[in-house]
Amino acid sequence: MRQATFVERRQEGWERLDALLQRAERSTLRALGPDEVAEVGRLYRWVTSDLAFADGRSYDATLRAYLNRLTARAHALVYGGSSEGGASRVARFYTQTFPQEVWRSRWYMLLAVVLFLAPAGLAYYLIHTQPLNAFVLLPADMVAPIHKGLHETNFEPSQAALGAPTLSAFIMTNNIRLAFMAFAGGMTLGFVTVYVLIENGLILGGLAALYVDAGFGRDFWATIAPHGIIELTAVQIAAGAGLVIAGGILAPGRLRRRDALVRNARRAAILIVGVASMLVVAGTIEGFFSPQKFPADVRLAVGGITAVLLVLYFVVPNARRPQLRADSST
């Protein structure tokens, strides 16, 4: 791309960022409204990419110096140039930065959800229609004791799910492992991320089929629901973060592959910090519910409430922000 064309296409964004920075620099970041703060973050990512592109094409030194100064000013504002204290920054991370990055990366998240739920649905169908398929689709050391317990002994419904604490602890531990494997798998071009999503989708769908077909489906879902909704959401976000990293490698766009990887890794880092916090919350809920004998209806209600709260947290506020467009490549 010729330098003149590049400047013509991008100059409006640079000037907008400069105007916002001037306002903030005259006082503090608080001088900007919430939408303008989010816009500064978006424009900062753009100008960082533009600087890398201009450097890569060896454009005029004056242009590169201008972009470098603009990037430095935006970086100082976004990452420490404000008068916010530590508590305010933490609050801003959880109320703005993290949920907005999830929304921005939503197509990666949707792909992760499909790669998890499609195998889950397939496993459920295949085992529901032919129970022996469980020995093909699921690990044998998992299927044998569950199958024996469900079909060869007289369980009380409240004990159906392996013993609720046992199943609950297994699922929680597995989900934590899955989340971080799916995230790290982004560095393998996403192959490991895809593999762990498919494998664990098969496991969840297969377990559901075994318990539902044995008449213990309600107990199964009631055991998972209180903490599982948050955990499974965290897993999809972690996997989406892994796919964001893979996207930087596979589809760098206008940037050099290294620069695209660095940019996307920063985005993924925001996501995985949020995921870790979600898993802490889920663990706290699991620790409260597992030792207690709450009725299934209460457990299911808690799961439903957490699902609603997650939608309110991630979707509703961000869907109203036109500047937070889904971004699958930049």
Residue 116 and residue 197 in contact, taking contact as beta carbons nearer than 8 Å: yes
Q: What is the pLDDT of residues 282-304, one digit of tens each?
A: 887 877 776 567 888 998 999 99
Quick one: angle between helices 217-250 and 191-213, nearest 10? Answer: 170
Chain centroid, CA 140 distance in Å: 31
Shared domain check, 185 and 46 = no
Range of the domain at 135: 104-319
Sign of the CA dihedral running 118, 119, 122, 127 = negative
pLDDT (tens digit per residue) in 232-262: 999 999 999 999 999 999 998 888 888 888 8
Please choose, from the candidates 13, 100, 19, 22, the residue with its C-alpha nearest in 3D space to the C-alpha of residue 53.
13
> Where would I find the beta strands (DSSP E) of the chain?
none
Q: What is the pLDDT of residue 291?
A: 56
The pLDDT, as a whole number, for residue 170 is 61
Render pLDDT for 25-68 as a digit per residue (tens, 0 to 9). Answer: 776 666 677 777 778 888 888 888 888 788 777 788 788 888 88
Mean pLDDT of 275-281: 88
Mean pLDDT computed over 119-144 = 89
Is the pLDDT assigned to residue 310 strictly greater than 50?
Answer: yes
Tokens of 246: 């893979």
Is position 213 within any domain?
yes
Do residues 270 and 219 both lie within one domain? yes
Q: Which of 52, 83, 114 finishes a domain?
A: 83
pLDDT of residue 151: 62
Confidence of residue 113 (pLDDT cuts 50, 70, 90): very high
Question: What average pLDDT does the chain have?
Answer: 82
**Interval 126-150 mean pLDDT:** 83
137 and 25 in one domain? no
Higher-pLDDT residue of 118, 264:
118
Token output for 32: 């900007």
When comparing pLDDT for 115 and 75, which is higher? Answer: 115
CA dist., res. 306 & res. 238, Å (int): 18
Do 296 and 225 form a contact (C-beta atoms < 8 A)? Answer: no
Determine, yes or no, domain membership for 72: yes
Report the percentage of the chain scoring pLDDT > 70: 82
Is 92 among the domain residues?
no
Same domain assignment for residues 77 and 113: no
What residues contact 232, with CB distance under 8 A and at least 6 apart? Answer: 116, 175
Confidence of residue 156 (pLDDT cuts 50, 70, 90): very low
Q: Is residue 89 part of a domain?
A: no
Q: Is the pLDDT of residue 96 over 70?
A: yes
163 and 272 both lie in a single domain: yes
Of 96 and 230, the one with more pLDDT: 230
Looking at the structure, tell me whether residues 176 and 261 fall in a common domain.
Answer: yes
Same domain, 153 and 281: yes
Domain count, the chain: 2
Using the predicted structure, report yes or no on whether residue 157 has a pLDDT greater than 90.
Answer: no
pTM, two decimals, is: 0.70
| Same-domain pairing of 73 and 148 | no
Any domain includes 286: yes
At a CB cut-off of 8 Å and minimum separation 6, what does 70 contact?
Answer: 14, 17, 18, 21, 47
Same domain, 195 and 300: yes
162 and 244 co-located in one domain: yes
Predicted pLDDT at 330: 42
Residue 97 lies in a domain: no
Q: Do 121 and 233 belong together in one domain?
A: yes
Question: Would 326 be classed as within a structural domain?
Answer: no
Q: Do residues 181 and 232 share a domain?
A: yes
Sort residue 246 into left (φ over 0), alpha (ψ -120 to 50) or beta: alpha
140 HSE (CA, 13 A, CB side): 1
